[in-house]
Amino acid sequence: MPLLTDLNRPYWTAGADGKWRLQRCSDCKRLIHPPALRCPHDHGTPEYVELSGRGLVETWTVNRHQFFPGFAPPYVIAFVTPVEDDRVRVLTNLVNVEPDDVTAGMAVRVTFQRFVDDEDEVFIPLFEPVL
């Protein structure tokens, strides 16, 4: 589970309704990730906005060794660029795809994995190929 803060809570809980949300600067309109108090480009005020949930794989790596309990290898870690703004990248996992089938520019869509602990419920945004 990610450590939730006032700043990142909207990102980690947005998937409850199946919608992917990132911050957008109210001034320059650039998407911002990871969550920030101010836009790193012009210091504007960010607000969370709903996205289409579609993106493109920019780059990836395949982990073939067990590094963490609960993450059975092989698994794919990727940078996904939302179609709404090609200047931002989101570090994520690719699911429902064979590691050798991943390609640069592959069209993907968001899916969420729900986690619950004693206090919080989060929805981890993962991405799968668009078929």
Taking a C-beta distance cutoff of 8 angstroms, is the pair 82, 127 a contact?
no
pLDDT at 7 over 90: yes
pLDDT digits (tens, 9 = 90+) for 42-58: 999 999 999 999 999 99
Report yes or no on 2 lying in a domain. no
What's the rounded Cα separation, in Å, for the pair 82 and 104? 14
Question: CA-CA-CA-CA torsion for 53, 57, 59, 62, nearest 10 degrees?
Answer: 90
pLDDT digits (tens, 9 = 90+) for 70-126: 778 999 999 999 999 999 999 999 999 999 999 999 999 999 999 998 889 999 999
Report yes or no on 29 lying in a domain. yes
Which range of residues forms the domain containing residue 75? 9-129
pLDDT at 68 over 90: no
How many domains in the chain? 1
